[in-house]
A = this chain, B = another copy of it.
């Protein structure tokens, strides 16, 4: 593996899950692997879990993390090819990525979508430019269309809590007042499609995800029906894909309640808006796995960094 930019970079999800669980039981086992190596964490957007867990993962491997909020700390970055840069951007990604590669052994990048321009977002301009122009491995800390560190985390968490050989997993849309990206839902879909699970997606009409990603996964517009016999309900809001980036429905009847959930475990990538996405009673109960998920972010990131470091050596 040269980079970790999407779920497709995982060669065998079952092996990866086992290796992540092993790391979790002995996080400092590889403390010398990253010695004197730096991880550059470049944030174009806000972050709490990713910011902290990726640093923790790097520290567990003996690496030195260096954090930079690109927008505030450095210069406006230009991504266009051939642009006459007489506007607001002061540095081209060609230089920025090549330069950061001089100081960092691995570069991790977070860059959210515009949600205004589908073609631009799907081109993954920021992430792909780093892959193209950097000379070191790139880690996706959530891009316009994917959040593969979260997807890997979720696979680990489901594996840890599954009580049957083939659990039923539902990805359910839930209401939110703002237009949110599809990245988490996409990566969760992609990783579930590769696991031994019965996987369905529940969302209102008009909220189908990109069909190239959902593929053969059943999409059900009746939440009640979808949740039947579910073992895990993974909840996330996303804006419309067809009517790109628009909030066309904030139907509070799609909010997750204890009653709807039944015996299923509740999962969410966080941050989550309480009593909008999900009822307090769910989050405050043992049905919720959200904190366990957050904990696994460290080991997902650590596994990815470990594999990249091993490849560098």
Contact = CB atoms under 8 A, between A and B. Distances in A.
A152 to B, nearest CB: 16
Contacts of A51: 68, 73-74
A276 interface: yes
A291 B102 CA distance: 8
Contact of A272 (B49, B60, B66, B91): B91
A118 interface: no
A84 B273 CA distance: 8
A22 to B, nearest CB: 18
Return the 3 tightest CB-CB contacts between A and B, nearest first.
Answer: A91-B271, A85-B273, A48-B74
A49 B99 contact: yes
Interface in A36-89: 36, 38, 40, 43, 46-49, 51-53, 55-56, 59-60, 64, 66, 68-69, 72-75, 78, 82-86
A290 B55 CA distance: 30
Nearest to A268: B95
A261 interface: no
B273 A48 contact: no
User: What is the copy number of this chain in the assembly?
Assistant: 3
Q: Is the interface of A mostly helix, strand, loop or mixed?
A: mixed
B53 A102 contact: yes
Contacts of A84: 274-276
B66 A52 contact: yes
Given A48-B91, A52-B66, A99 B291 contact: yes
A183 interface: no
A68 B67 CA distance: 10
Contacts of A282: none
Contacts of A179: none
Contact of A36 (B28, B82, B291, B298): B28
A46 B73 contact: yes
Given A46-B75, A74-B47, A291 B85 contact: no
Nearest to A80: B274
A104 interface: yes
A86 B48 contact: no
A94 interface: yes
A92 B274 contact: yes
Given A55-B103, A90-B271, 18 more contacts: A31-B36, A36-B59, A46-B75, A52-B66, A56-B66, A83-B275, A84-B275, A85-B276, A86-B273, A92-B271, A94-B274, A94-B283, A94-B284, A95-B271, A95-B291, A99-B291, A102-B294, A102-B298
